[in-house]
Amino acid sequence: MAKEITDGNFEETVLKSNQVALLDFWAQWCGPCRAIAPIIEDLYNEYQDKAVIGKVDVDTNQEIAMQYNIRSIPTILIIKNGEVVDRHVGSTTKQVLKDKLDKYLA
């Protein structure tokens, strides 16, 4: 299961990590968020040794959502060395996310 990223563990898990992070900003009530949830789980299973794959519930972790100006969900951020290097808003495919992630793992 993808790592739950919270206001409390964000800095340690994402910003201080030496791995690239892919974060899915989502909410329980969001239909498109639920639609891409299996993709995020697949990515977690494939990349768990190479990248931090996590989910941020915007309803319970508003600090992170505000910090990264999340206005629409789902929003996927890719963070490398503490900086946002890619942002995708809305539904997408697994291949699109893999391509984006692979670009920053190389």
Residues of the chain with pLDDT > 70: what percent?
A: 100
State the pLDDT at residue 106.
76
State the pLDDT at residue 104.
96
Rounded to an integer, the average pLDDT of 10-18 is: 96
What one-character-per-residue DSSP string does the chain give? -PEEP-TTTHIIIIIT-SSEEEEEEE-TT-HHHHHHHHHHHHHHHHHTTTEEEEEEETTT-HHHHHHTT--SSSEEEEEETTEEEEEEES---HHHHHHHHHHHH-
Q: Categorize the per-residue pLDDT at 30 as very low, low, confident or very high, splitting at 50, 70 and 90.
A: very high
- Give the global pTM: 0.95
State the pLDDT at residue 60.
97
List the catalytic residues: 30, 33
Spatial separation of the C-alpha atoms in residues 37 and 2, rounded to whole Å: 9
